[in-house]
Structure 1
Amino acid sequence: MTESSLTQKLSEIPDTALDHDVSLADLTTLRLGGRPRFTVRCATTAAAVEAIRVLDRAGQGILVVGGGSNLVVAEGDLDLVVVLLENDGVSYGQDGLIEAEAGAVWDDVVAGSVERGLGGLECLSGIPGSAGATPVQNVGAYGAEVAETLTEVLLLDRTDGSVSWAPASSLELAYRYSNLKFTGRAVVLALRMQLSTDGLSTPLRFGQLAGEAGQRRPVAQVREEVLALRRGKGMVLDDADHDTWSAGSFFTNPVVDPAVADEVQSRVRETRGAEDAERMPRWPADGGDKLSAAWLIERAGFPRGYPDEGARARLSTKHTLALTNRGSAVTGDLVALAREVRDGVRAEFGVTLVPEPVWIGVSIDA
């Protein structure tokens, strides 16, 4: 199908608009990425469904974008069409059931739940991006995950074009993982979450929030504390602050065999002393022990703000785990920094950090 016939067919879909000027740098929180063939803006769920069906039938590669907070995209002209989800409806039931369309701003969904005294999302305050992205990687922060409240997702199956609600249990949700991630097999169109209605938070687990383990506190109070913590780490979007020009936490916390964790701790003891080794973050997890990626990065010789003030891509000056665009970076700058950090941690500790973002047209290994 020629581009003119494809765009004609797409333009006939109600509630869509074609944009030939926008680049991925305009659509991602890293402000990096090249120019797609064009962008289809979808104001409704029905428009998104039909646009994706048309593009898939035409064999056209697509990139579905919501808030663009978890993407590392190549520069230059990209042989893909962006489908931009702008369906942003949210409903809150008196029984605590929330239904949010995929294009809804995630923090707006959280804020709305807190305003209504609903508990379960408050620890996920301030996370950038859209609601539809949260199940894909089982977004989590401060001891809470989307998996704890998610009940169903509305999916467009790209193999046959069907649309149906799927139970959260079918997604195989785990730490920063679902079986939707990296596969492209389906597109999240909406999600449902069941929250508590007593005005109290989920049981708190994160040390800087919790008093006694399992304590529950008013949701508004917890949200404000979480936002304050995130702002202190440059993790709340601010156009004027280059520390927030990031994809959030860039590497997942590695889960390793306990024997490997012992080796890491021994290495720290040798190089930095017993006191620092005893403070090493280490938690039991499915499959082994979970270590702190940020802690490993710092002790491998990469401090906040690395490499220096003149670099176009740097570690955040507030949070070691965020790789940032200082305003003039290109994707290659960020990729080079990511490789340097990953390789440095591996050389020092024998642990390979895995990036959390989705990579489009570029790879940390290439």
Structure 2
Amino acid sequence: MTTLADLTTLRVGGPARNVVEARSERDLIDAVREADATGTPLLMLGGGSNLLVGDQGFDGVVVRDARSEISLQNDGACGGVSITATAGTPWDHLVETAVAEDWMGLEALSGIPGSTGATPVQNVGAYGQEVGDTIALVRTWDRTEERVRSFPLVALQFGYRDSLLKRSMRGEAPDGGVWHPTPRYIVLDVTFHTRMATLSAPIRYAQLAAALDVAEGERAPLTEVREAVLALRRSKGMVLDSGDHDTWSAGSFFTNPLLDEASAAALPQDAPRYAAAGGKVKTSAAWLIEHAGFSRGFAVAADARASLSTKHTLALTNRGGATAADVVALARAVQAGVAERFGIALVPEPVTVGVTLEVSGSHGRSVPRV
């Protein structure tokens, strides 16, 4: 029997009762409709890079989108270009293609694992770019209305690692229902609009600018930006490598907290602070983890099979043979330590299936998520 450990980058998770590979849009929709009609739990799975599944597995149907197609929809007279990729297309294959074809705007998102269909759900971002910067349209299957439904950029309500698509998993869909672990809206394909150029979008991340030896706001050749991003990600164990246990992870495990002004002011003076939408202040989850006393390679016990990455404290990694319970124990220890030190609850970024990650303050009081 297939296990979710075989299908996820964390390499943990118990058996899957039924796995379906959809090789066409019709196959995908039919599998989803059948699951919903029979009340069978549904897990849509792309690259398995943002998922933590419990050791008991998933007693439902796992649908894998096996489609991988990229099409150029139009090449406008002003250098604009629209590209559509099916949801199952590996994300980095799309980015690699974009750089090779001089499609500007995706280059700083190089090396991110997973599928294209997952990127708008999380509004994936890195090194100063987010997919919301270039997405024009997302076609979905609406499980409530049982029809194909398209969302233009303005309707997707992108935020920091958030979107209308993701919010349906928290009971914030228009119908108020909770869809978990698969959102109400299942991505079928994504259309990006960008420009033809050999130079990148303006570099908006200091570390990347330094690696390229340019000032923030300047541009650099697309190929050089991609190479620099891949090198930075490799240095942090964030490019998949079967021989490197630091890459046996779900990527960044916690989102950077968004604080109100009072909470941000209560942080130590040297804590990172960045202006965010809605008057919020963003700080660094990695900084909080490190300053709460958790160093690279931290594990809850000497023989623990899960630990923080030896390259980056924001990644929880499987050192070989780890279970989901091992990862959860590590995550809870880090959450509790940060809550104790700073009064901030770290919010997990991966979708969790069959596990819960709660955190309380030093006196057992719930620490609000920020």
TM-score, normalised to structure 1, is 0.89
Query: Which segment is superposed worse, 223-232 or 345-354?
Result: 345-354
Residue in structure 1 matched with residue 201 of structure 2 by the alignment = 202
Residue in structure 2 matched with residue 288 of structure 1 by the alignment = 280
Residue in structure 2 matched with residue 72 of structure 1 by the alignment = 52
Residue in structure 2 matched with residue 84 of structure 1 by the alignment = 64
Query: In structure 1, the residue corresponding to 2:165 is in which secondary structure?
Result: coil
Query: Which segment is superposed worse, 316-325 or 214-223?
Result: 214-223
Aligned partners of 1:260 and 1:159: how far apart in 2? 39
Given that 2:109 and 2:127 are in contact with CA atoms closer than 8 Å, whether structure 1 keeps it comes out as yes
Residue in structure 2 matched with residue 160 of structure 1 by the alignment = 145
1:121–1:77 distance in 2 versus 1, CA, 3 Å? closer
Q: How far apart are 1:213 and its partner, in Å?
A: 2.6
Q: State the Cα deviation string for residues 217-251 of structure 1 (Å, max 9, x = none).
A: 11111000000000000000000000000000000
Aligned partners of 1:140 and 1:344: how far apart in 2? 26
Query: Which segment is superposed worse, 48-57 or 130-139?
Result: 48-57
Given that 1:118 and 1:200 are in contact with CA atoms closer than 8 Å, whether structure 2 keeps it comes out as no
Q: How far apart are 1:193 and its partner, in Å?
A: 0.3
Q: How far apart are 1:200 and its partner, in Å?
A: 1.6
Q: Does 1:313 align with 2:306?
A: yes
Q: How far apart are 1:78 and its partner, in Å?
A: 2.6
Q: How far apart are 1:255 and its partner, in Å?
A: 0.9
Aligned partners of 1:126 and 1:78: how far apart in 2? 28
Residue in structure 2 matched with residue 97 of structure 1 by the alignment = 82
Q: How far apart are 1:169 and its partner, in Å?
A: 1.7
2:260 pairs with 257, 264, 283, which one?
257
Pairs aligned (count): 334
Given that 2:4 and 2:57 are in contact with CA atoms closer than 8 Å, whether structure 1 keeps it comes out as no
1:240–1:309 distance in 2 versus 1, CA, 3 Å? farther
Q: Please give the residue correspondences for 1:25-36 in structure 2 after superposition, counting only pairs within 5 Å.
A: 25-36=5-16
Q: How far apart are 1:203 and its partner, in Å?
A: 1.2
1:224 pairs with 215, 222, 227, which one?
227
Residue in structure 1 matched with residue 348 of structure 2 by the alignment = 355
Q: How far apart are 1:77 and its partner, in Å?
A: 4.5
Given that 1:155 and 1:189 are in contact with CA atoms closer than 8 Å, whether structure 2 keeps it comes out as yes
Residue in structure 1 matched with residue 107 of structure 2 by the alignment = 122
1:147 pairs with 132, 147, 151, which one?
132
Aligned partners of 2:265 and 2:81: how far apart in 1? 44
Q: Please give the residue correspondences for 1:168-247 in structure 2 after superposition, counting only pairs within 5 Å.
A: 168-181=153-166, 182=169, 183=179, 184-210=183-209, 211-247=214-250
Q: How far apart are 1:212 and its partner, in Å?
A: 2.3
The unaligned stretches of length 5 or more in structure 1 are 1-20, 267-276
1:46 pairs with 26, 29, 37, which one?
26
Q: How far apart are 1:96 and its partner, in Å?
A: 2.1
Query: In structure 1, the residue corresponding to 2:207 is in which secondary structure?
Result: coil
1:37–1:204 distance in 2 versus 1, CA, 3 Å? same
Query: In structure 2, the residue corresponding to 1:196 is in which secondary structure?
Result: strand
Aligned partners of 2:198 and 2:3: how far apart in 1? 42
The unaligned stretches of length 5 or more in structure 2 are 170-178, 360-370
Q: How far apart are 1:293 and its partner, in Å?
A: 0.3
Residue in structure 2 matched with residue 332 of structure 1 by the alignment = 325
Tell me the amino acid that sits aligned with residue 304 of structure 1. R
Query: In structure 1, the residue corresponding to 2:58 is in which secondary structure?
Result: coil
